[in-house]
Chain A
Amino acid sequence: MADKVLMKGNEAIAEAAILAGCRHYFGYPITPQTEIAAYMAKRMPKIGGTFLQAESEIAAINMVYGVSSTGKRVMTSSSSPGISLKGEGISYIAGADLPALIVNVQRGGPGLGGIQPSQSDYFQATKGGAHGDFHMIVLAPSSVQEMADLTVKGFDLADAYRTPVMILADGTMGQMMEPVSLDYTPKAPVEKPWATTGTQMQREHNIVNSLFLAPDELEDMNMKRFQRYAAIEKNETLYEEYRMEDADICIVAFGIAARVSKNAINEARARGIRAGMIRPITLWPFPTAPISAATQHVHSFISVELSMGQMIEDVRLAVEGRAPVTLCNRTGGMIPSPEQVLQAIQTAAENGGAK
């Protein structure tokens, strides 16, 4: 293979997963992520892996549950309505402390919605994603290269913390094509002494389950799991700062919204407005600390989103009322233009932080 290849974001996820040692893919087609399944269907049989188109999203996520129980790296992918169907299984996986990679290439909603890009599953992804007390690590790629890199990282994080990890992309990220370098040095496999691999009459049975008959035991387990979440929040928060050193105005945006915002920030800077951006790469854990620290010099925050405003709540929690936080958004499959973001920056500059 050439040093760089031209890939769709969806293909980059699929190939990176294979390079990360994933040999089991279960899914059900839905636009705009079907290329992941199509790619796996072509590649997996050639490398001794399993591609299986399940009868439904619910079946697919439960196949992920089963394979993960055996300690193998496994993934599924879907788009918004399909992720809702997977919700029950995701909660079971979290409750059984199993690693798994779940990809959501978001489309417009609610309901059947549309097939164009969206970020309106932010709440669903970052606030648990299904029933019960749990979190997923949520990774938000902003380029085709990051679609690949964060997939590899996602498998590593899932194994390290025994937790489901979600790649939260959008239709644009899935469909756009960019050159990608897939140069990964595989890490040594993580020991999984909990996996159900057969006792060989040498050890006690391993049991993978999320059912607790005694409520105090379940409480105890939830407490322990949240200690692990605290470690994730401390060690794994990822973000990018762009032109933030002297910024008066801070955009917070992820994925395609961050790319659009960069163009707007450069244009604002050319017009003498000191704008910058904090781009969350992990949406959970959310980069609260750098946003909070930025309030020392930033007088206005703008949350740029492809939704009616979901991440803005986490931005406001981080800012804690020390500066106004406004929303610049499109929804239903539409993408904010650089001009729209520039207009929001100019309005914030004129208001100068007045609430």
Chain B
Amino acid sequence: MYTYKRITLLSGHYGSGKTNLAVNMAFDLKQHYEHVAIADIDIVNPYFRTKDSVRELEQAGIRLICSPFANSNLDIPALPQDIYSITDDRSVMSVVDIGGDDRGALALGRWTPGILEEDNYEMLLVINRFRPLTPDASSTLEVMHEIETAGGLPFTGIINNSNLGAETTAEDVLSSLSYAQEVSRLSGLPLRMTSVMDTLYESLKDRIENLFPLKITCKGVNEYGKANI
């Protein structure tokens, strides 16, 4: 099982699957910890937010820290004031969903000193080789450096979340492993886990180390994706 630090931060190229992964990690954390929070500090994308899963999170007793304007028509880069509790309240295990690319990571800079001072965090780079602007290790590292420069927080590990949405096959995931290893080698960061849709977990769990099942699927994959056009 993955060993969590007090704060788990997820960042990467937009569309790499951060939000879905963050929600799943929060549920995973809740299996082992009493107090769990998930914070959405995406100031870029007003669509596809952690708030899409608000009902499931509330039912599970996971605290959602999120702009009150997420999923509304107010298209402004707002952050909620209680987001300071991520660094202020050290009794809560937290997952932080950072917006895509360097522009999304800009918001992180406000909390970077506090996170570094506590020094109980993991900053994970979420990668997906099936995204058009990160098809290889060098382009992925380019995005990684942009995010680190903007947010001021160095990455500590990688999550391989390579997927083609609902159409992802076990072969697609297997074919992404060499890419993930290459990103790991070039960046010097450990590959912490590979995440796959729950339906692929059984067939891959003996073939991939540290495989993480995504049991919850956010809007965008299931709500519209099942239509068969």
Give chain A's interface residues, CB within 8 Å of chain B: 1-2, 4-8, 11, 15, 31-32, 35, 39, 42-43, 108, 113-116, 142-143, 171-172, 175-179, 256, 258-260, 262-263, 333
**Interchain residue pairs A-B with the least CB separation, the first 5:** A114-B73, A259-B227, A179-B164, A6-B130, A175-B47
Known: A115-B73, A179-B165, A333-B73. A5 touches B220 (CB 8 A): no
Q: Could you tell me the distance between the alpha carbons of A260 and B165 in the complex, rounded to whole angstroms?
A: 19
Quick check: A4 and B15 within 8 Å, CB to CB?
no
Quick check: B130 and A2 within 8 Å, CB to CB?
yes
Quick check: B132 and A11 within 8 Å, CB to CB?
yes
Query: CB within 8 A of A31: which of B15, B46, B164, B229?
Result: B46
Q: Could you tell me the distance between the alpha carbons of A6 and B48 in the complex, rounded to whole angstroms?
A: 16
Which of B156-215 touch A at CB < 8 Å?
Answer: 163-165, 167, 175
Residues of A within 8 A of B73 (CB): 108, 113-116, 333
Does B131 sit at the interface, judged by CB under 8 A? yes
Question: A178-B225, A333-B73 given. 17 additional CB < 8 A pairs?
Answer: A1-B132, A1-B135, A2-B130, A6-B164, A6-B165, A7-B15, A7-B132, A115-B47, A172-B224, A175-B48, A178-B167, A179-B167, A259-B229, A260-B227, A262-B228, A262-B229, A263-B226
Does B75 sit at the interface, judged by CB under 8 A? yes
Quick check: A5 and B132 within 8 Å, CB to CB?
yes
Does B128 sit at the interface, judged by CB under 8 A? yes
User: Smallest CB-CB separation from A256: which chain B residue?
Assistant: B224
A interface footprint on B47-66 (CB within 8 Å = 1, 0 otherwise): 11000000000000000000
Known: A6-B164, A176-B220, A258-B229. A31 touches B129 (CB 8 A): no
Interface centre among A35, A39, A178 (most CB of B within 10 A): A178
Q: Could you tell me the distance between the alpha carbons of A171 and B167 in the complex, rounded to whole angstroms?
A: 22
Does B133 sit at the interface, judged by CB under 8 A? yes
Residues of A within 8 A of B46 (CB): 31-32, 115
- Determine how close the nearest CB of chain B comes to the CB of A249; give it in whole angstroms: 19
- Determine how close the nearest CB of chain A comes to the CB of B4; give it in whole angstroms: 27
Residues of B within 8 A of A176 (CB): 220, 224-225
Q: In the complex, how many residues of chain B place their beta carbon closer than 8 angstroms to a beta carbon of chain A?
A: 27
Q: Could you tell me the distance between the alpha carbons of A178 and B164 in the complex, rounded to whole angstroms?
A: 7
Known: A143-B229, A177-B15, A260-B227. A171 touches B47 (CB 8 A): yes
Q: Could you tell me the distance between the alpha carbons of A11 and B228 in the complex, rounded to whole angstroms?
A: 21
- Determine how close the nearest CB of chain B comes to the CB of A337; give it in whole angstroms: 10
User: Smallest CB-CB separation from B130: which chain A residue?
Assistant: A6
- Determine how close the nearest CB of chain B comes to the CB of A112; give it in whole angstroms: 9
Quick check: B75 and A5 within 8 Å, CB to CB?
no
Query: CB within 8 A of B75: which of A31, A175, A259, A260?
Result: A31
Residues of B within 8 A of A7 (CB): 15, 131-132
- Determine how close the nearest CB of chain B comes to the CB of A268; give it in whole angstroms: 15
Quick check: A259 and B167 within 8 Å, CB to CB?
no
Quick check: A6 and B131 within 8 Å, CB to CB?
yes
Quick check: B227 and A263 within 8 Å, CB to CB?
yes
Q: Could you tell me the distance between the alpha carbons of A5 and B134 in the complex, rounded to whole angstroms?
A: 10
User: Smallest CB-CB separation from A107: which chain B residue?
Assistant: B73
Residues of B within 8 A of A143 (CB): 229
Q: Could you tell me the distance between the alpha carbons of A31 and B43 in the complex, rounded to whole angstroms?
A: 13
- Determine how close the nearest CB of chain B comes to the CB of A339; give it in whole angstroms: 13
Quick check: B130 and A142 within 8 Å, CB to CB?
no
Residues of A within 8 A of B167 (CB): 4, 178-179
Q: Could you tell me the distance between the alpha carbons of A263 and B225 in the complex, rounded to whole angstroms?
A: 11
Quick check: A177 and B220 within 8 Å, CB to CB?
yes
- Determine how close the nearest CB of chain B comes to the CB of A124; give it in whole angstroms: 20
- Determine how close the nearest CB of chain A comes to the CB of B184; give it in whole angstroms: 19
Known: A15-B132, A108-B73. A178 touches B47 (CB 8 A): no
Quick check: A6 and B227 within 8 Å, CB to CB?
no
Residues of A within 8 A of B128 (CB): 6
Residues of A within 8 A of B48 (CB): 175
User: Smallest CB-CB separation from B131: which chain A residue?
Assistant: A6
- Determine how close the nearest CB of chain A comes to the CB of B228; give it in whole angstroms: 6
Can you report 12 A-B residue pairs in the complex whose CB atoms are below 8 A from each other? A2-B175, A11-B15, A32-B46, A43-B133, A108-B73, A114-B73, A142-B229, A177-B221, A178-B167, A258-B229, A259-B227, A259-B229
Q: Could you tell me the distance between the alpha carbons of A114 and B46 in the complex, rounded to whole angstroms?
A: 11
User: Smallest CB-CB separation from A12: which chain B residue?
Assistant: B132
Residues of B within 8 A of A116 (CB): 73
Which of B2-50 touch A at CB < 8 Å?
Answer: 14-15, 46-48
User: Smallest CB-CB separation from A171: which chain B residue?
Assistant: B47
Residues of A within 8 A of B75 (CB): 31, 115
User: Smallest CB-CB separation from A30: which chain B residue?
Assistant: B75
Q: Could you tell me the distance between the alpha carbons of A177 and B46 in the complex, rounded to whole angstroms?
A: 15
Q: Could you tell me the distance between the alpha carbons of A32 and B175 in the complex, rounded to whole angstroms?
A: 33
Q: Could you tell me the distance between the alpha carbons of A91 and B162 in the complex, rounded to whole angstroms?
A: 44
- Determine how close the nearest CB of chain A comes to the CB of B123; give it in whole angstroms: 23
Quick check: B224 and A259 within 8 Å, CB to CB?
yes
Q: Could you tell me the distance between the alpha carbons of A167 and B175 in the complex, rounded to whole angstroms?
A: 35
A interface footprint on B119-140 (CB within 8 Å = 1, 0 otherwise): 0000000001111110100000
Q: Could you tell me the distance between the alpha carbons of A263 and B223 in the complex, rounded to whole angstroms?
A: 12
Interface centre among A6, A39, A113, A171 (most CB of B within 10 A): A6
